[in-house]
């Protein structure tokens, strides 16, 4: 099944709200912090941090790729140390990434070579 049935009606809409480094979205019972990151996946990667629940949504900005795709100049997981440090700079308990099971903050710290 095709996701777009009739391309005649398809239009690309530019965003009405943008940000460069950080943006805070207030919620009824907390807030979300949107933060740009320098991911090797794409130039427009962001991290979304739910401060109240201490959950960070990394999407494809960070995910452990298969072993055969890992590179030596990056961390063992194949992503830049800068992205991992940006993740653990938050008081995060759970990291949700784009290709697998959730990770703990401690797992990311281990990836950085910490205890």
Indicate the domain borders of the chain: 21-111
| CB distance 84 to 62 below 8 Å | yes
- pLDDT, residue 42, reads 67
C-alpha distances (whole Å) from 83 to each of 30, 75, 115 are 24, 10, 18
Distance CA 57, CA 103 (A): 11
Q: Nearest Cα to 83, choosing from 35, 21, 39, 49?
A: 39
Distance CA 56, CA 92 (A): 6
Given pLDDT bands bounded at 50, 70 and 90, which one contains residue 115?
Answer: low
Highest mean pLDDT among 4-8, 19-23, 34-38: 19-23
pLDDT digits (tens, 9 = 90+) for 53-110: 999 998 877 766 555 665 554 444 445 678 888 888 999 999 998 777 888 998 888 8
Residue 4's pLDDT band (cuts 50, 70, 90) = confident
* pLDDT at residue 73 in the model: 47
Whether the per-residue pLDDT at 31 is higher than 80: the answer is yes
Q: How far is CA 54 from each of CA 27, 64, 90, 94, rounded to the nearest angstrom?
A: 14, 21, 8, 7
DSSP, collapsed to helix, strand or coil, labels residue 107 as helix
Superfamily of 21-111 according to CATH: Ribonuclease Z/Hydroxyacylglutathione hydrolase-like (3.60.15.10)
Give the containing element (helix H, strand E) for 28.
none
Mean predicted confidence (pLDDT) in 14-24: 92
């Amino acid at each position: 099944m095709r996701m777009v049935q009739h391309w005649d009606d398809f239009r690309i809409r530019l965003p009405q709200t943008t940000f460069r480094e950080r943006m805070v979205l207030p919620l009824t019972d907390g807030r979300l912090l949107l933060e740009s990151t320098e991911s090797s996946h794409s130039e427009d990667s962001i991290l979304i941090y739910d401060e109240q629940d201490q959950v960070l949504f990394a999407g494809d900005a960070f995910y452990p790729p298969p072993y055969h795709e890992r590179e030596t100049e990056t961390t063992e997981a194949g992503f830049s140390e800068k992205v991992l440090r940006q993740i653990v700079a938050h008081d995060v308990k759970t990291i949700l990434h784009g290709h697998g099971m959730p990770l703990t903050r401690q797992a990311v710290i281990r990836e950085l070579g910490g205890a």
